[in-house]
Amino acid sequence: MVKVSDIISALDGFAPFSLQESYDNCGLQVGDPSMTSAGVLLAVDMTEEVLDEAIACGLNTIVVHHPPIFRGLKSLTPDDASTRMLIKALKHDVAIIAAHTNVDKAYNGVSYKMGEKLGLADMRPLVGCNDDGAGLGVVGCLAESLPVGLFLDKVRDTFGCRCLRHTAPTCSNVRTVALCGGSGASLSADAIKAGADVYVSADFKYHDFFDARGVITLVDAGHFETERYVVEIFYDILTKKFTNFAVRHASAYTNPVIYLY
């Protein structure tokens, strides 16, 4: 019998919740830790569609990357989509666990997973490298250098991007790659310092691109897109830890950004 608290412990064993940033709100957000878990649904974001899917599948535990309770709640009334979802989760006895910046910073966390998908070797954190390999972002090397155009195609295809925003290439071939899943603009200087040919992250502003011109090839591959494989990390942790236990990827697509051409 797996309890919600066992799921929290399993996640904590891989990515200690104590690693989370001070502004974050990881951990059990909704539900009773002593409740028996009937199985887990995994998603990047918590939406009503994800909740409905969990209820329909009889899975009473959801693990997400982005905490649905983040900036603090003043009330729990059905006035907006987010609080309506929380009320519904409580009514249906569905527990919601968020593993956010702890999984960003853990060894083999979100950015390592990005690097793995792109085939990087010799990865190390861009910032705050502990002996255990925990830190923010990663830098690593492609097995063989790739013409920059092909590298950009690879990023687009690997992360399922509808479009890429990037600066004019500063190199003709890419070998050293810096990455950070999600909003990584603050690590641009670290990517440059690490000698990376390109820096792939998300949520860059106009002036971030401006400042990078001629210095590093900045690639914005989308917030959801660069974090989408976090659910594979959750899946591996939970399926290794618990046998004969349902763990499923949500089929709902939770990216709120739509691209128009």
Which stretches of the chain bind Zn ion, using CB under 5 A?
A: 182, 227
Measured from the CB of residue 82, what is the shortest distance to Zn ion in angstroms? 16
Residue placing its CB nearer to Zn ion in the complex, 55 or 138:
138
Which of residues 109 and 182 has its CB atom nearest to Zn ion in the complex? 182
For 204-220, b where at least 16 C-beta lie within 10 A, e where not — what string? Answer: beeebbebbeeebbbbb
Name which of 115 and 182 has its Cβ closer to Zn ion.
Answer: 182
* Residue whose CB is less far from Zn ion, 31 or 182: 182
Considering the complex, what minimum distance in angstroms separates the CB of residue 104 from Zn ion? 8
What tokens were used for 165?
């925003």
Pairing of strands 173-183, 198-202: parallel
How far, in Å, CA of 247 to CA of 232, rounded? 11
Pick the closer one to Zn ion by CB: 140 or 182: 182
Three-state SS for 217? Answer: strand
- What's the closest the beta carbon of residue 45 comes to Zn ion, in angstroms? 9
Min separation Cβ 172 and Zn ion, Å:
32
**Measured distance CA(18)–CA(32) in Å, rounded:** 20
The values of phi and psi at residue 248, to 5°, are: -135, 150
Closest CB 222 distance from Zn ion, rounded Å: 10
- 61-64 vs 40-43, strand pairing mode: parallel
- Cα–Cα nearest to 167, from 137, 140, 188: 188
Indicate the pairing of strand 217-220 with strand 198-202: parallel
Whichever of 136 and 174 has its CB closer to Zn ion, that residue is: 136
Residue with smaller CB distance to Zn ion, 83 or 255 = 255
The Cα–Cα gap between 118 and 112 comes to 10
Q: Whole-number minimum distance, CB 68 to Zn ion, in Å?
A: 13
CB of 96 to Zn ion, least distance (A): 16
Cβ-closest residue to Zn ion?
182
Strand order of the sheet with strand 198-202?
A: 120-127, 136-147, 173-183, 198-202, 217-220, 165-166
